[in-house]
Amino acid sequence: MALIDKESGTTVLHRPAESPPPRTWRSWLIGRPLPTADAPHQTIGKAVGLAVFASDALSSTAYATQEILFVLAVAGTAAFGYAFPISIAIVVLLGIVVLSYEQTIHAYPNSASSYIVTRDNIGALPSQITGAALLTDYILTVAVSISSGVAQITSAYSILFNFRVELALVMVALIMLINLRGIKESGITFAIPTYFFLIMIFSTVMVGFFRYLSGSLTGVVDPPELEISHAVQPVTLFLLLHAFANGTTALTGVEAISDGVPAFKEPRTRNAGITLIWMAVILGILFLSITFLAGQIGAIPSEMETVISQLVRTAYAGRGFMYLVTMASVTIILIMAANTAFADFPRLSALMAGDGFLPRQLTYRGSRLVFSRGILTLGLLASLLIILFQASVTALIPLYAIGVFLSFTFSQAGMARRWWKIGHLAPGQEVKERGSTLHHESGWTLKMIINGFGAFCTLVVMLIFAFTKFHDGAWIVLLLIPLLVMGFSAIHRHYQGLGKRLSLRNYGGPPRLSRHRVILLVGGVHQGTLSALRYAHLLSNDLTAVHVSINPDETARVRRDWELWGNGIRIVILDSPYRLLLEPLLDYIDEIDARRQPNEIITIVVPQFVPRHWWHNLLHTQTAFLLRVVLLFRPGIVVTDVPYQVG
């Protein structure tokens, strides 16, 4: 122990850290605790950055096409022809969104999280809505990606279909565990599976196109049955919009790079921007190719076999080695996508908790320097969703992506507003805002138009989404988001009120205490009681013993023994004709409390056995605990239990 400082009459001692904590079952599971100083500061290049941040976006090609076909299926297989034009519209939307985000990255080099952009440029309430939407969508990302990953596995091995929920839950648990450990070696670990997936899926697509051009591409052999519950319906605008909305799930995950700008090597905004554009190009090509080829081979959307599986086995003419390897790569990229949400959810919830909108405990970094509580929360909620929706991607899709588009809209609108502010600054003028300094920039009009148009497009998509999928489940999210925002506000109010009430500003200090009354509860006179009596003596001379008389024989015994052992301390015997323990005691305390001066405090000392085994507590009444709960809300009363260790 080293003396450090002695000023203003206060001694400050500083006690250095002990050696690291001992190994426990927990350190065996998630690794040894890491000291705060070990926080990683490594940065990554573009190639690795693509691998780390793009898995979420790229993996959505594994289900987006299929979800378009599922909607078109109600109009019969003939309607499948609309899938390709719809995909083109989605890729155009992708271009607009990516252009808009590219600008955001340059404006927010520290973190272009939609929550921050909205908070800084629009306001508190919209930022909370964005936060609610994003948190909801991260949970859905895990549920959808893992469910889709499992669907790839059950496409290859159909006997596993009945175990899909269990499989999915095991996967969530594994990813949760990996994230609780913390991913220090993220770069390479991420790069391998992402590039493995890209190679395998591009090979498939190329083989597909080669066979298409050479005329040797056949239809799907032995396709799954088309499950249509109703009669064939006509192709309506509503149906096409619905299919379009389903397909926009391909855009989920596009925002991941903008969240992670600080992880890039310098010049980080440039590197991040370029990576974003690469990603968009790859995603666009892949999505269009898969949709086109799926149409050519006549793939059928089904819960039993994914469209990707049908495409791969048709391209490779059978379930051979290439089929299995490709399907494995698809499964892995989907699991990686869930992993992205495990990085984003805890980070955003810690950010919001720091702003006082979520429980403060979420800002606490666990033994491995990760936000453990956020990780656990995400894992549990995603598992719940998987169980509720029986790991069906199609059932989950109506809930998915609406939050993403809501946050896209707010974030881009925020950017547009920011450009407008910048445009109206005089050249050379500077305005300090939360986190960043604004100064005049030329060309702000075009940038504002790009962000504004992005916001407009995503808003339209979100409305289409809400409208076409309202009945299928989108209402759940539309109901959940306001509820979450209300929760955020309630939490915020609590913290703010508390802060105000605890504040020392203009506080004169509590009144001095001059009287300390101590009441010792005596159930029976034994060694534990005497130990508590001895302690009570230390606290104050104003000491009274109190015994609640339920059984007259016992009371007589207490009186006799107290005269022998009670050190002459007066004892008050409270009659309890209704055999109640707490109530007569509370009546008595009320009586004393009524006469209490403001400078007087009452301590109630309760002797408490500590038996050797916890289950022994079941054999005793827990008076101290009950008394504490009952008296908790009474100012000026402290309940102290003096433990007496037996044996």
Least Å distance, CB 640 to a copy of itself, is 5
Minimum separation from the CB atom of position 537 to a copy of itself (A): 7
| Contacts to a copy of itself from residues 45-74, by CB under 8 A | none
- For residue 257, CA distances in Å to 111, 197, 283, 414 come to 9, 19, 14, 18
Cα 533 → chain centroid: 50
Site for a copy of itself in 550-609 (CB under 8 A): 550, 559, 561-566, 568-580, 583-584, 587-588, 601, 609
Which CB sits closer to a copy of itself, 427 or 568? 568
C-alpha 268/C-alpha 253 separation (Å) is 20
| Binds a copy of itself (CB under 8 A): choice among 96, 491, 626, 630 | 491
- 3-class secondary structure, 306: coil
Q: Tell me the window of 115-123, 200-208, 397-405, 506-514 that interacts with a copy of itself (CB under 8 A).
A: 506-514
Exposed/middle/buried for residue 475 (C-beta within 10 Å: 0-12, 13-18, 19+): middle
Among 192, 497, 556, 557, binds a copy of itself (CB under 8 A): 497
**Of 335 and 518, which CB lies nearer to a copy of itself in the complex structure?**
518
Residue 510 interacts with a copy of itself (CB under 8 A): yes or no: yes
Cβ at position 36, least distance to a copy of itself in Å: 5
Q: Chain centroid to CA 379: how far?
A: 8
Site string for a copy of itself, 154-193 (x = CB under 8 A): ----------------------------------------
Whats the size of the chain, residue-wise? Answer: 647
| Of the candidate residues 364, 439, 449, 482, the single one contacting a copy of itself (CB under 8 A) | 364
The residue among 337 and 631 lying less far from a copy of itself, judged by its C-beta, is 631
Nearest-approach distance from CB 181 to a copy of itself, in angstroms: 15
CA distance readout (Å), 138 to 189, 226, 408:
22, 31, 14
Q: Which candidate, 334, 403, 322, 355, places its Cα nearest to that of 114?
A: 403
Residue 185 beta carbon to a copy of itself: minimum distance, rounded to whole angstroms = 21
Rule CB under 8 A: say whether 633 interacts with a copy of itself.
Answer: yes
Nearest Cα to Cα of residue 257 among 244, 284, 276:
276
SS (H, E, C) 406-426: HHHHHHHHHHHHHHHHHHCCC
Greatest alpha-carbon span in the chain: 108
Contact call for residue 504 and a copy of itself (CB under 8 A): yes
* Pick 12 or 460: Cβ nearer a copy of itself: 12
Which residues does 583 contact at the CB level (< 8 Å), separation at least 6? 576
Binding characters for a copy of itself, 511-550, by CB under 8 A (x = yes): -xx--x--------xxxx-xx--xx-xxxx---------x
Q: Least distance to a copy of itself from the beta carbon of 397, Å?
A: 32
Question: Interface with a copy of itself includes 432 (CB under 8 A)?
Answer: no
- CA nearest to 133, candidates 408, 413, 417, 463: 408
- Interaction pattern, residues 17-36, with a copy of itself; x per rule: CB under 8 A: xx-xx-----------xxxx
Please report whether residue 230 would count as binding a copy of itself according to CB under 8 A.
no
CB 367 within 8 A of CB 34: yes
| Residue list 303-362, contact with a copy of itself (CB under 8 A) | 359-361
Helical segments of 357-443, H only? 372-388, 393-396, 402-423
Burial class (CB in 10 A: 0-12, 13-18, 19+), 106: middle
